[in-house]
Amino acid sequence: MAKALAKYFNHKISIFDKFVRSTDQNSGYVEEPNLKHYDLVINSAMFEHVTHRDSLNEVNNLVSNNGVLMIHTVVCETVPNDPNWFYITPMVHTAFHTNKSMEILMDQWGYSKSVYSPQAKSWFLFKDSHPQIKNLHKKIDAINNELQTKYFISKDGFVDYWKGFDLI
C-alpha cells in the first residue's frame, strides 16, 4: 500500500516492520528508535502470526491517544474445531482472533468504537478520545449514503461482522 501511495499519488507514509528492513532510502522506512505515536496505524496480516501478546501491544503502542488502529486479519465468532480449516493450513497462522478477543483488546487498549469494511476485510478501531468519536456513526451513515452502498459498518465496541457466517 505504501508503494502504491508513493508511486501513484506521490504520498509517502512511514513504514515499520520489526522483522523486515528496507534498503530503499526513499521507502519511508522508520528505524525502531525513531518510531513515535501516529494518528493512524495500519496493521495488515500480522495479528494472526504472533505468539506473544507483547507483539500486539507493541503495535497498539504506536497509536496516538486520539488515534485509529486499522487491522486486516481474520476474526470469527468461534475458532472452528477442524484440522482442515483454511486458516490453519498451511501452518503459518499461530493466533486466531474471535469477536470476543477483539472486544477485550479494544477495551484494554482504550478503543470504544469500530468501523468495518467488508470489501477491505479491515477494522478501524477508534480511541475513546478520537476527535470524531461522538459523530462517528453519523459520519459513516453519510459516507454509505453518498456511496449508495453499505461500504462501512460502525458499532460501539467491536463490529462482529462475521458473527453469523461459517468460515470453514
Angle at 46 between CA 84 and CA 159, to 5 degrees: 80
CA distances for 89 relative to 52, 84, 94, 168, angstroms: 21, 7, 11, 12
Percent of the chain with pLDDT over 70: 92
- Predicted model pTM: 0.86
Angle at 127 between CA 124 and CA 133, to 5 degrees: 85
* pLDDT over 80 at 110, yes or no: yes
Please give the pLDDT value at position 167.
Answer: 46
**DSSP tag of 18:** T
Dump pLDDT digits (tens) for 18-68.
Answer: 877 766 666 778 888 889 999 999 988 888 878 788 989 999 999 999 999
Please give the pLDDT value at position 24.
Answer: 67
